[in-house]
Amino acid sequence: MDGGGCSCYVPGMIPAAAPAPNPPPTLTVSGTALVADASGALYEPASGALIVADLHLEKGSSFARRGQMLPPYDTRTTLGRLSALLEIYRPRAVIALGDSFHDGGGPARLAEADRERLAALQAGRDWIWIAGNHDPEPPAGCGGEAHGEMRLGPLTLRHEPVAGPAPGEIAGHLHPAAKVSVRGRSLRRRCFATDGARLVLPAFGAYTGGLNVRDAAFASLFEPSAFAAWMLGDEGVYAFRLAGLRPD
Amino acid sequence: MTLAPPPPTDLSPLPDRFQAWFAARGWTPRPHQLALLDHARAGRDALLIAPTGAGKTLAGFLPSLIDLTEARGESVGIHTLYVSPLKALAVDVARNLERPVAEMGLPVRIEGRTGDTPAARRQRQKRQPPDMLLTTPEQLALLIGDPGAGRLFETVRRVVLDELHALAPTKRGDQLALALARVRALAPEAVFVGLSATVKAPDELRRWLVDPRRGAPLSELVRISGGAAPDIAIHDTDERLPWAGHSARHAMGAIYEAIRAHRTTLVFANTRAQAEMAFQELWLLNEDSLPIALHHGSLDVGQRRKVEAAMGEGRLRAVVCTSTLDLGIDWGDVDLVVQVGSPKGSSRLLQRVGRANHRLEEPSKALIVPANRFEVIECEAARAAALDGQQDADTVKPGSLDVLAQHVLGVACGGPFDEDALFAEVTSAAPYAALTRSEFADVVAFAATGGYALRSYERFAKIRRTKDGLWRIANPDVAQRWRMNVGTIIEATTLKVRLARVRRAPGGATGPAGYGGRILGEIEEYFVETMTPGDTFMFGGEILRYDALIENEVYVSRSSSEAPKVPTYVGGRMPLTTDVAARVREMMGDPARWGALPAQVREWLRLQAERSSAPLRDELLVETFPKAGKHFIVAYTFEGRLANQTLGMLLTRRLERARAHPLGFVAGDYALAIWGLSDLSALIGAGRLSLDALFDQDMLGDDLEAWMAESALMKRTFRNCAIIAGLIERRFPGQEKTGRQVTVSTDLIYDVLRRHEPDHILLRAARADAARGLIDLERVAEMLARVRAHLRHVPLDRISPLAVPILLEVGREPVYGAAQDALLREAAEDLVAEAMGDAAP
Task: State the pLDDT confidence band at B741, using cuts at 50, 70 and 90.
Answer: very low
Supply the pLDDT for residue B179.
Answer: 97
Alpha helices for chain A (secondary structure H): 59-65, 74-89, 106-109, 112-122, 216-219
Of B744, B819, B823, the CB nearest to A63: B744
| Chain A residues touching residue B745 (CB < 8 angstroms) | 209
- Residue of B654, B745, B827 lying closest to A209 (CB–CB): B745
- B423 and B459 fall within a common domain: yes
Cβ B198 vs Cβ B164: under 8 Å: no
**What is the structure's pLDDT at A7?**
26
Question: Could you give the C-alpha distances from B369 to B161, B318, B379, B383, in angstroms and in order?
Answer: 34, 16, 8, 12
Question: B258 near B336, Cβ under 8 Å?
Answer: yes
| pTM for the predicted model, two decimal places | 0.81
* SS3 category, B579: helix
Query: Are the Cβ atoms of A14 and B457 closer than 8 angstroms?
Result: no
Report the C-alpha gap between B723 and B731 in whole angstroms: 10
Q: Range with the lowest mean pLDDT among B263-267, B567-571, B638-642?
A: B567-571
Which residue spans within B492-629 are E strands per DSSP?
Answer: 494-500, 517-524, 536-539, 542-550, 553-558, 620-627
Query: Using an 8 Å Cβ cutoff, are B201 and B216 in contact?
Result: no
Residue A2 is predicted with a pLDDT of 31
Residues B257, B367 within the same domain: yes
B379 with B528, same domain?
A: no
Q: Are residues B334 and B307 in the same domain?
A: yes
- Distant-in-sequence, close-in-space partners of B199: CB < 8 Å, separation ≥ 6: B49, B165, B205, B347, B391, B394
CA B595 to chain A, closest CA, distance in angstroms equals: 42
Tens of pLDDT, residues B202-241: 999 999 999 999 888 999 999 887 667 788 999 887 777 7
Domain A26-244 sits in CATH at 3.60.21
Same domain, B121 and B160: yes
Q: Are residues B86 and B171 in the same domain?
A: yes
Cβ separation B456–A61 shorter than 8 A: yes
Give mean pLDDT, residues A132-139: 93
Cα–Cα separations (whole angstroms), residue B712 to B221, B249, B611, B644, B717: 43, 34, 39, 17, 9
B79 and B162 fall within a common domain: yes
Query: Quick check: B831 and A67 CB within 8 A?
Result: no
For residue B565, pLDDT beyond 80:
no
Question: Shortest CA distance to B636 belongs to which of B815, B791, B814, B811?
Answer: B791
β-bridge partners, A157: A150, A170
| Short-list B578, B208, B220, B221, CA closest to B399 | B208
Across the range B416-428, mean pLDDT stands at 97
Q: Is residue B706 in some structural domain?
A: no
Question: In A, which residues are within 8 Å of B446 by CB distance?
Answer: 69
A185–B841 CB contact, under 8 Å: no
Nearest C-alpha in A relative to B762: A71
pLDDT at A11: 30
Which residues, including other chains, have CB under 8 Å from residue B244's CB and lie 6 or more apart?
B372, B374, B804, B805, B806, B808, B809
**DSSP summary character for residue B428:** T
Secondary-structure breakdown of chain A: helix, strand, coil percentages, each rounded to the nearest 5: 20, 30, 50
pLDDT digit string (tens) for B678-692? Answer: 888 998 888 888 888
Q: Among B365, B387, B409, which residue terminates a domain?
A: B387
Statement: residue B447 has pLDDT above 90 = yes
Q: What is the mean pLDDT of chain B?
A: 82
Which residue in A has a C-alpha nearest to residue B699's C-alpha?
A8
Which positions in chain B touch A238 (Cβ < 8 Å)?
Answer: 824-825, 827-828, 831-832
DSSP B296-315: -TTB-HHHHHHHHHHHHTT-
Strand ranges of the sheet holding B365-369, from the earlier edge strand across to the other edge: B231-234, B365-369, B336-340, B265-269, B318-321, B292-295
Residue B776 lies in a domain: no
Query: Percent of chain B scored above 90 by pLDDT?
Result: 34
Min Cα distance B630 → chain A (Å) is 18
Nearest to B821 among A2, A111, A236 (CB): A236
Listed range (B471-485, B552-566, B727-741) with the worst mean pLDDT: B727-741
Q: Which residues contact B632 (CB under 8 A, 6 or more apart)?
A: B623, B624, B625, B626, B673, B674, B675, B680, B799, B803, B807
Sheet bearing B542-550, strands edge to edge: B517-524, B494-500, B553-558, B542-550, B536-539
Is residue B339 within 8 Å of B367, Cβ to Cβ?
yes
What is the tally of structural domains in chain B?
A: 5
Q: What pLDDT is attached to residue B484?
A: 86
Does residue B185 form part of some domain? yes
The number of CA neighbours under 13 Å toward the Cβ of B33 is 26
What residue type is assigned to position B537 of the chain? F
Chain A and chain B share a number of CB contacts under 8 A equal to 201
pLDDT digits over B775-816, tens only?
Answer: 677 788 888 888 888 899 999 998 898 888 787 766 544 433
CA gap B593, B13 in Å, rounded: 53
The shortest CB-CB distance from A175 to any of B740, B836, B841 is to B740
Residues of B in contact with A72 (CB under 8 A): 450, 452, 454, 456-457
Closest residue in A to B688 (Cα–Cα): A12
The answer to whether A8 contacts B748, with C-beta atoms less than 8 Å apart, is no
| B392 in any annotated domain | no
Same domain, B690 and B596: yes
pLDDT of the residue at A135: 93
pLDDT at B840 over 80: no
Q: Are residues B90 and B37 in the same domain?
A: yes
More confident residue, A244 or A51: A51
Min Cα–Cα distance to chain A from B127, Å: 31
Q: Euclidean distance between the first and final Cα of chain A, in Å? A: 29
- ipTM comes to 0.86
Task: Give yes or no: residues B166 and B58 share one domain.
Answer: yes
Q: What are phi and psi for residue B768, nearest 5 degrees?
A: -65, -45
**Average pLDDT, rounded, for chain A:** 88
Residue B795's region, left for phi above 0, alpha for psi from -120 to 50, else beta, is: beta
CA B140 to chain A, closest CA, distance in angstroms equals 24
CA distances, B224 to each of B45, B48, B220 (Å): 17, 8, 13
pLDDT for B364? 84
pLDDT of residue B588: 85
CA distance B31 to B224: 9
Neighbours of B212 (CB within 10 A): 14
Q: Strand, coil or helix: what is B674?
A: strand
Local confidence band at B534 (pLDDT 50, 70, 90 cut-offs)? confident
Burial B275-296 (b: 16+ CB within 10 A, else e): bbbbbbbbbebbeeebebbbbb
pLDDT band at A65 (very low <50, low <70, confident <90, very high): very high
Q: Are B653 and A70 in contact (CB < 8 Å)?
A: no
The closest of B24, B19, B25 to B33, measured between CA atoms, is B19
Cβ contacts of B413 within 8 Å, gap of 6 or more: B145, B146, B147, B473, B478, B479, B482, B483
Segment A170-199, tens digit of pLDDT: 999 999 999 887 655 567 899 999 999 999
Q: Which of B693 and B707 is assigned the larger pLDDT?
A: B693
Residues in Cβ contact with A246 at an 8 Å cutoff, skipping those fewer than 6 apart: A179, A180, A181, A186, A214, B529
Question: Between chains, do A14 and B694 touch, taking CB under 8 Å as contact?
Answer: no
* Mean per-residue pLDDT, B95-107: 88
The answer to whether residues B699 and B380 touch, using CB atoms and an 8 Å cutoff, is no
Residues B756 and B630 in one domain: no
Residue A196 φ/ψ, nearest 5 degrees: 90, -20
Total residues found in chain B within this entry: 841
Q: Are residues B445 and B536 in the same domain?
A: no
Residue B686 lies in a domain: yes
Strand partners, A122: none
CB pair distance less than 8 Å for A209 and B460: no
Residue B1 lies in a domain: no
Report pLDDT digits (tens) over B187-209. 999 999 999 887 888 999 999 99
User: Residue B74's pLDDT band (boundaries 50, 70, 90)?
Assistant: low
Q: Choosing among B677, B730, B752, which should be mutated to test the A contact, i.e. which has the most A CBs within 10 A?
A: B752
Strands, sheet with B191-196, edge to edge from the N-terminal-most edge strand: B110-113, B132-135, B80-83, B158-161, B191-196, B46-49, B220-223
| pLDDT of A55 | 97
In a domain, B523, yes or no: yes
Q: Indicate whether B2 belongs to any domain.
A: no
Which of A1, A68, A117, A173 best tests the B interface by mutation, with the highest count of B CBs <10 A? A68
Q: How confident is the model at residue B547 (pLDDT cuts 50, 70, 90)?
A: confident
Question: Helix axis angle, B437-449 relative to B401-414, nearest 10°?
Answer: 60
Contacting residues of A for B757, CB less than 8 Å apart: 71, 73
CB burial of residue B490 (10 Å; 0-12, 13-18, 19+): middle
Q: Which pLDDT value is given to residue A41?
A: 97
Angle, alpha carbons B350-B593-B602 (nearest 5°): 95
Cα distance from A143 to chain B (closest Cα, Å)? 23
Confidence check: pLDDT of B567 > 70: no
Domain residue limits at B687 = 578-696+788-823
